[in-house]
Structure 1
């Protein structure tokens, strides 16, 4: 692992903003400024989903950003393991329901993993050593 950052947040809308800003700053510091906007968007979408569908009053949600050789991974974990996310097609007049489709478009992969308590929703970006984004063969939901 080259870099890792993990922070827990209170279940409030302002926390999603803080997590997004932190992720953008970290990704830039880690040498991938061209991914900052996409990573910020993914943190915002996954954090908002966690707030709306995965948080329990009084329980924190966690955002973890990890840079490994070849992969930048964003994870958002919350205590509601029984409420797994799924991408859906939102109607034109709906205000919500597009978040995971957006994540699927900007990240190379996304998926879920169970935890002892709760779940983790992740998105991954393929990266090259020394900066730059690798060309992705295809996106997949994992």
Structure 2
């Protein structure tokens, strides 16, 4: 019989914020500004700009590809001793994001490339209804 694998215990959050937004362009700006303000208040001003850009890209993707009429999208921030996790959840679980190369003259298509380069880790998690796309920044 093999040795039992140890399941990592999640770190307790030091700070957490969760807010639902209407699927409008104004919500992108609101979520970006709220994220930057909270991350600064939580003692990590060096992460505020990157966190704001990540939430902006993830929320824009939710708005363009994951929202449905009458359904909100959620931004959830969690700060632990080692990471800032940014999650954006939307109701369209069948529309999974993927990296792609945008042509030089394309107006869209670079959001996840920005997320992949900026975040220390990112990914997609299914939900009972919809999906959550997350990005994490290591706290140094």
The answer for the alignment partner of 2:87 in structure 1 is 75
Counterpart in the other structure of 1:36: 48
CA distance in structure 1 between the partners assigned to 2:54 and 2:132 by the alignment: 14
Q: Say which one has the larger Rg.
A: 2
Residues 1-142 of structure 1 aligned to structure 2 (within 5 Å): 1-128=13-140
Looking at structure 2, the residues matched to 116 and 26 of structure 1 have their Cα atoms a distance apart, in angstroms, of 28
Deviations 1:14-55 (A, max 9, x none): 001000000000000011101111000001100000000000
Aligned to 2:35, the other structure's residue is in SS state: helix
Q: Give the TM-score taking structure 2 as reference length.
A: 0.90
SS in 1 for 2:59: helix
CA–CA distance in 2 between the matches of 1:42 and 1:68?
17
Task: Give the gaps of 5 or more residues in structure 1.
Answer: 129-142
Q: List 4+ stretches of structure 1 deviating above 6 A.
A: none
Aligned length: 128
Q: TM-score, normalised by structure 1?
A: 0.89
1:69, distance to aligned residue in structure 2 (A): 1.8
- Residue ranges of structure 2 left out of the alignment (5+ in a row): 1-12
| Cα RMSD, aligned residues only | 0.5
Q: Secondary structure at the match of 1:97?
A: coil
